[in-house]
């Protein structure tokens, strides 16, 4: 199952999903039946952030003020623990603003699971602003809490007003997107890819226009001393895109989908089968179904990459726990005639998706070999928790 959040103006005539006569701001989605199994009632989740903790618990933080229409969510902490119920009856989203809340109100914060398995929550703004960070939160905090107050961040202060991830010309109001490229042994050198957005710096942030040209540009940089000295490397997409989704494929490629040519703020994610789930879109200020060229979109669709229909190796069994820097052998079943010279083994963290931004998304390759009998896969796990953030497999 997948947990989805949405924005709402609490208008039952427009919002198709209801919870106790109110518009539902979240739902559990069954990937097998392609249907909602349980609507959820939570404070306003628009432009929230989040991540998975090391124990598999999903934590969503911050959000919108609610504008008096729905309960404010900009200080909320929402906790969803793994569950096995196919109907969603035993699956609950815990939220209690009196006992669990952020130190500060955060709209458009960033978040990531760090090396000790906890969640670091960074920046944002105290109040809803048009596009620029005019009331910044120049601090970061953790969940679970590590101190009695947030930590100030001189870096966020120095980077104003462009430290809100949708706040410079390759992001809001004409958004581009960024992703950490796959990490590979031996050195696991980080590279960041940024695609789309716009190159203009003359946009009136209060009046973004559909006539502003979208960039075809994709730029990437290697985050080493030598790479930073070399600067950004540039290629071109086939078409300009604003708010494109950048998603890891298991083979290390990056899928670029959605964006200004087809909509606004659609959400994409990799599903457990290896295909892609794409849902929602609304270029309007609120949910609008009639009288506009591009109405709000509530449909959910899947995109199947070519490898979905190809024969693939299957892991017969895997250990429940792995240590860092460990050499592991597991039984494997390989279809007859399938080449194994180019086999790759990766660990994927799908991240927390919102507004074409995937907080914590990461793909790490491991050295791997196949036995002469083609029945045993041997691989070496990443060396530490900074390369592959620790994660437990729920029972």
User: In degrees to the nearest 10, what's the CA dihedral of 185, 186, 190, 194?
Assistant: -50
Least confident of 90-104, 156-170, 306-320: 156-170
Percent of the chain with pLDDT over 70: 76
Condensed to tens digits (0 to 9), the pLDDT of residues 190-221 reads 999 999 887 666 666 566 666 677 889 999 99
pLDDT at 256 over 80: yes
CB atoms near residue 26 (< 10 Å) = 22
Helix ranges, 123-230 (H): 154-158, 225-230
CB 37 within 8 A of CB 28: yes
Percent of the chain with pLDDT over 90: 30
**Alpha carbon distances (Å) from 25 to 9, 149, 277, 299, 352:** 10, 29, 19, 15, 16
pLDDT at 4 over 70: no
| pLDDT the model gives residue 166 | 42
Predicted TM-score (pTM) of the model is 0.83
SS3 content of the chain, % helix, strand, coil (to 5): 5, 35, 60
Least confident of 10-19, 85-94, 362-371: 10-19
| Coil vs helix vs strand at 306 | helix
Residue 19 DSSP symbol: E
Least confident of 77-86, 212-221, 254-263: 254-263
Least confident of 51-65, 307-321, 363-377: 51-65
pLDDT at 357 over 50: yes
Condensed to tens digits (0 to 9), the pLDDT of residues 124-175 reads 888 776 655 678 899 999 999 999 999 999 988 887 766 554 444 565 556 7
Domain ranges of the chain: 1-166, 314-381
Parallel, antiparallel, or unpaired for β 35-40 and 26-30? antiparallel
| pLDDT the model gives residue 190 | 96
pLDDT at 320 over 90: no
Helix ranges, 193-292 (H): 225-230
Asked if the bond preceding 161 is cis, omega within 30° of 0, the reply is yes
User: In degrees to the nearest 10, what's the CA dihedral of 51, 54, 57, 61?
Assistant: -30
pLDDT at 56 over 50: yes
pLDDT at 53 over 50: yes
| pLDDT the model gives residue 273 | 77
Condensed to tens digits (0 to 9), the pLDDT of residues 227-245 reads 999 999 999 999 888 888 8
CA atoms of 331 and 333, how far apart (whole Å): 7
Condensed to tens digits (0 to 9), the pLDDT of residues 16-31 reads 666 566 666 677 777 7
CA atoms within 13 A on the CB side of 369: 6
Binning pLDDT at 50, 70 and 90, where does residue 72 land?
confident
pLDDT at 77 over 60: yes
């Amino acid at each position: 199952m997948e947990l989805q959040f949405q924005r709402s103006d609490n208008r039952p005539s427009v919002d198709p999903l209801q919870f106790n006569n109110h518009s539902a701001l979240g739902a559990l989605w069954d990937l097998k039946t392609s249907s909602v199994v349980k609507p959820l009632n939570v404070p306003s989740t628009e432009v929230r952030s989040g991540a998975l903790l090391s124990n598999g618990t999903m934590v969503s933080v911050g959000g919108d003020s609610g504008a008096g229409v729905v309960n404010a969510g900009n200080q909320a902490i929402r906790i969803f623990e793994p569950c096995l119920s196919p109907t969603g009856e035993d699956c609950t989203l815990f939220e209690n603003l009196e006992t669990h809340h952020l130190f500060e109100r955060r709209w458009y914060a960033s978040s990531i699971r760090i090396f000790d398995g906890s969640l670091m929550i960074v920046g944002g703004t105290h109040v809803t602003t048009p596009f620029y960070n005019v009331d910044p939160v120049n601090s970061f905090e953790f969940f679970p809490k590590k101190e009695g107050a947030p930590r100030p961040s001189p870096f966020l202060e120095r980077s104003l007003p462009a430290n809100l991830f949708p706040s410079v010309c390759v992001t809001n109001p004409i958004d581009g997107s960024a992703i950490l490229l796959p990490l590979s042994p031996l050195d696991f050198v980080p590279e960041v890819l940024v695609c789309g957005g716009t190159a203009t710096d003359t946009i009136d942030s209060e009046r973004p226009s559909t006539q502003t040209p979208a960039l075809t540009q994709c730029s990437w940089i290697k985050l080493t001393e030598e790479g930073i000295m070399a600067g950004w490397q540039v290629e071109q997409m086939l078409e300009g895109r604003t708010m494109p989704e950048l998603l890891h494929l298991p083979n290390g490629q990056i899928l670029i989908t959605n964006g200004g040519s087809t909509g606004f703020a659609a959400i994409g994610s990799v599903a457990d089968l290896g295909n892609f789930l794409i849902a929602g879109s609304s270029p309007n200020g609120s949910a609008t179904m009639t009288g506009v060229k591009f109405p709000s979109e509530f449909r959910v669709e899947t995109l199947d990459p070519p490898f979905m229909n190809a024969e693939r190796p299957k892991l017969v069994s895997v250990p429940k726990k792995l240590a860092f820097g460990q050499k592991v052998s597991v039984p494997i079943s390989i279809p007859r005639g399938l080449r194994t010279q180019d086999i790759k083994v990766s660990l994927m963290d799908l991240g927390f998706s919102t507004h074409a931004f995937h907080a914590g998304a990461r793909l790490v390759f491991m050295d791997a070999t196949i036995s002469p009998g083609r029945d045993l896969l041997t691989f070496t796990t990443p060396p530490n928790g900074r390369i592959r953030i620790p994660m437990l497999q729920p029972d």
